[in-house]
Amino acid sequence: MTVFHRNLSRAVVAAICVIPLLAGCSANGEATLQPGPHDRQAIKYLVLEEARRMNVPAALALAVAHAESNFNAHAESHKGARGVMQIMPATARGEYGMEPGELWNPRLNIRLGLHFLGRLLRQYRGRQDLALSYYNGGSAVGTWPNARVIPATWRYVAKVRRLQSWYREKLRQGRV
Protein backbone atom coordinates (compact mmCIF):
# COMPACT_ATOMS: atom_id res chain seq x y z
CA MET A 1 0.00 0.00 0.00
CA THR A 2 1.43 3.38 -0.94
CA VAL A 3 1.78 6.25 1.51
CA PHE A 4 -0.95 8.10 -0.38
CA HIS A 5 -3.39 5.18 -0.06
CA ARG A 6 -2.52 4.65 3.62
CA ASN A 7 -3.16 8.34 4.37
CA LEU A 8 -6.37 8.25 2.35
CA SER A 9 -7.52 5.18 4.30
CA ARG A 10 -6.79 6.93 7.60
CA ALA A 11 -8.73 10.00 6.48
CA VAL A 12 -11.75 7.89 5.50
CA VAL A 13 -11.70 5.99 8.80
CA ALA A 14 -11.38 9.23 10.76
CA ALA A 15 -14.31 10.71 8.86
CA ILE A 16 -16.51 7.67 9.45
CA CYS A 17 -15.61 7.26 13.12
CA VAL A 18 -15.13 10.79 14.30
CA ILE A 19 -17.16 13.38 12.42
CA PRO A 20 -20.50 12.39 14.01
CA LEU A 21 -18.87 12.64 17.43
CA LEU A 22 -17.22 15.98 16.82
CA ALA A 23 -20.64 17.35 15.98
CA GLY A 24 -21.72 16.25 19.47
CA CYS A 25 -24.08 13.61 18.17
CA SER A 26 -24.02 9.92 17.51
CA ALA A 27 -24.66 8.65 14.00
CA ASN A 28 -28.39 8.34 14.76
CA GLY A 29 -28.66 11.98 15.83
CA GLU A 30 -28.90 11.41 19.58
CA ALA A 31 -26.74 13.42 21.96
CA THR A 32 -23.42 11.75 22.68
CA LEU A 33 -23.45 10.04 26.06
CA GLN A 34 -20.83 11.37 28.44
CA PRO A 35 -20.88 8.93 31.36
CA GLY A 36 -19.19 9.75 34.62
CA PRO A 37 -16.29 7.73 35.97
CA HIS A 38 -18.58 5.44 37.99
CA ASP A 39 -21.20 4.88 35.29
CA ARG A 40 -19.81 1.53 34.16
CA GLN A 41 -23.18 0.16 33.05
CA ALA A 42 -23.59 3.01 30.57
CA ILE A 43 -20.06 2.31 29.32
CA LYS A 44 -20.96 -1.37 28.81
CA TYR A 45 -23.93 -0.35 26.66
CA LEU A 46 -21.68 1.93 24.60
CA VAL A 47 -19.25 -0.97 24.12
CA LEU A 48 -22.09 -3.23 22.94
CA GLU A 49 -23.41 -0.57 20.57
CA GLU A 50 -20.00 0.11 19.04
CA ALA A 51 -19.17 -3.60 18.85
CA ARG A 52 -22.25 -4.07 16.64
CA ARG A 53 -21.25 -1.07 14.54
CA MET A 54 -17.66 -2.30 14.12
CA ASN A 55 -18.61 -5.98 13.67
CA VAL A 56 -16.53 -7.10 16.66
CA PRO A 57 -17.92 -9.96 18.78
CA ALA A 58 -19.77 -8.43 21.74
CA ALA A 59 -18.22 -10.69 24.38
CA LEU A 60 -14.73 -9.93 23.04
CA ALA A 61 -15.39 -6.18 23.03
CA LEU A 62 -16.65 -6.27 26.62
CA ALA A 63 -13.69 -8.42 27.69
CA VAL A 64 -11.14 -6.01 26.20
CA ALA A 65 -12.83 -2.96 27.76
CA HIS A 66 -12.95 -4.77 31.12
CA ALA A 67 -9.29 -5.83 30.93
CA GLU A 68 -8.10 -2.41 29.77
CA SER A 69 -9.96 -0.10 32.16
CA ASN A 70 -12.77 -1.95 33.96
CA PHE A 71 -15.11 0.31 31.96
CA ASN A 72 -13.60 3.50 33.39
CA ALA A 73 -13.82 6.37 30.90
CA HIS A 74 -11.26 8.35 32.91
CA ALA A 75 -8.61 5.63 33.24
CA GLU A 76 -5.04 6.58 32.38
CA SER A 77 -2.17 4.10 32.43
CA HIS A 78 1.33 4.82 33.70
CA LYS A 79 2.39 4.88 30.02
CA GLY A 80 -0.29 7.42 29.11
CA ALA A 81 -2.94 5.20 27.48
CA ARG A 82 -6.35 6.80 27.93
CA GLY A 83 -9.98 5.96 28.37
CA VAL A 84 -12.09 2.83 28.26
CA MET A 85 -10.04 1.10 25.55
CA GLN A 86 -6.69 2.48 26.80
CA ILE A 87 -5.61 4.07 23.53
CA MET A 88 -2.17 5.62 23.34
CA PRO A 89 -2.21 9.25 22.17
CA ALA A 90 0.44 8.43 19.54
CA THR A 91 -1.79 5.69 18.10
CA ALA A 92 -4.80 8.01 18.05
CA ARG A 93 -2.81 10.70 16.27
CA GLY A 94 -0.94 8.39 13.89
CA GLU A 95 -3.78 6.06 12.95
CA TYR A 96 -6.78 8.39 13.17
CA GLY A 97 -5.50 11.97 13.25
CA MET A 98 -7.02 12.55 16.70
CA GLU A 99 -5.74 14.84 19.41
CA PRO A 100 -4.94 13.26 22.81
CA GLY A 101 -7.70 15.18 24.60
CA GLU A 102 -10.33 13.64 22.34
CA LEU A 103 -9.57 10.23 23.84
CA TRP A 104 -11.51 11.21 26.98
CA ASN A 105 -14.77 11.08 25.00
CA PRO A 106 -16.01 7.58 25.93
CA ARG A 107 -17.91 6.91 22.71
CA LEU A 108 -15.02 8.07 20.54
CA ASN A 109 -12.50 6.10 22.60
CA ILE A 110 -14.57 2.92 22.35
CA ARG A 111 -15.23 3.43 18.65
CA LEU A 112 -11.54 3.90 17.88
CA GLY A 113 -10.49 0.99 20.08
CA LEU A 114 -13.01 -1.38 18.52
CA HIS A 115 -12.24 -0.18 15.00
CA PHE A 116 -8.56 -0.91 15.69
CA LEU A 117 -9.39 -4.32 17.21
CA GLY A 118 -11.64 -5.17 14.26
CA ARG A 119 -8.87 -4.24 11.86
CA LEU A 120 -6.46 -6.50 13.76
CA LEU A 121 -8.96 -9.37 13.66
CA ARG A 122 -9.18 -9.02 9.88
CA GLN A 123 -5.40 -8.62 9.55
CA TYR A 124 -4.81 -11.83 11.52
CA ARG A 125 -7.66 -13.69 9.77
CA GLY A 126 -9.85 -14.01 12.84
CA ARG A 127 -7.07 -15.19 15.17
CA GLN A 128 -8.17 -13.47 18.35
CA ASP A 129 -4.99 -14.42 20.19
CA LEU A 130 -2.84 -12.57 17.64
CA ALA A 131 -5.19 -9.57 17.48
CA LEU A 132 -5.19 -9.28 21.28
CA SER A 133 -1.43 -9.66 21.48
CA TYR A 134 -0.97 -6.82 18.97
CA TYR A 135 -3.61 -4.66 20.70
CA ASN A 136 -1.73 -5.03 23.97
CA GLY A 137 1.89 -5.28 22.85
CA GLY A 138 2.13 -3.63 19.47
CA SER A 139 3.77 -4.61 16.23
CA ALA A 140 6.25 -7.10 17.75
CA VAL A 141 3.59 -9.73 17.00
CA GLY A 142 4.71 -9.69 13.37
CA THR A 143 2.89 -9.97 10.08
CA TRP A 144 0.74 -12.76 8.72
CA PRO A 145 1.48 -15.66 8.25
CA ASN A 146 4.54 -15.54 10.54
CA ALA A 147 2.81 -13.72 13.41
CA ARG A 148 3.16 -15.10 16.94
CA VAL A 149 1.70 -14.15 20.31
CA ILE A 150 4.56 -12.36 22.02
CA PRO A 151 5.50 -13.63 25.50
CA ALA A 152 4.97 -10.21 27.12
CA THR A 153 1.26 -10.45 26.25
CA TRP A 154 0.51 -14.07 27.21
CA ARG A 155 -1.12 -13.11 30.51
CA TYR A 156 -3.14 -10.34 28.88
CA VAL A 157 -4.42 -12.64 26.13
CA ALA A 158 -5.34 -15.33 28.68
CA LYS A 159 -7.14 -12.77 30.87
CA VAL A 160 -9.16 -11.41 27.95
CA ARG A 161 -10.08 -14.92 26.81
CA ARG A 162 -11.32 -15.79 30.35
CA LEU A 163 -13.33 -12.56 30.49
CA GLN A 164 -14.70 -13.23 27.02
CA SER A 165 -16.06 -16.61 28.14
CA TRP A 166 -17.61 -14.98 31.20
CA TYR A 167 -19.26 -12.21 29.12
CA ARG A 168 -20.42 -14.71 26.50
CA GLU A 169 -22.32 -16.53 29.25
CA LYS A 170 -23.71 -13.27 30.68
CA LEU A 171 -24.91 -12.22 27.22
CA ARG A 172 -26.50 -15.64 26.69
CA GLN A 173 -28.39 -15.11 29.96
CA GLY A 174 -29.44 -11.61 28.84
CA ARG A 175 -27.42 -9.93 31.60
CA VAL A 176 -24.38 -7.73 31.28
Three-state SS for 3-38 is HHHHHHHHHHHHHHHHHHHHCCECCCCCECCCCCCC
CATH of the domain at 49: 1.10.530.10
Q: Which domain holds residue 144?
A: 3-172
Reply yes or no on whether the pLDDT at 29 is more than 90: no
CA 94, 99, 100, 106 dihedral sign is negative
Using pLDDT thresholds of 50, 70 and 90, give the confidence band for residue 31. Answer: very low
Using DSSP, state whether 82 is helix, strand or coil: strand
- Segment 65-82 shows an average pLDDT of 98
Q: What is the pTM of this model?
A: 0.80
Question: Could you give the number of structural domains in the chain?
Answer: 1
| Spatial CA neighbour of 73 closest among 44, 114, 97 | 44
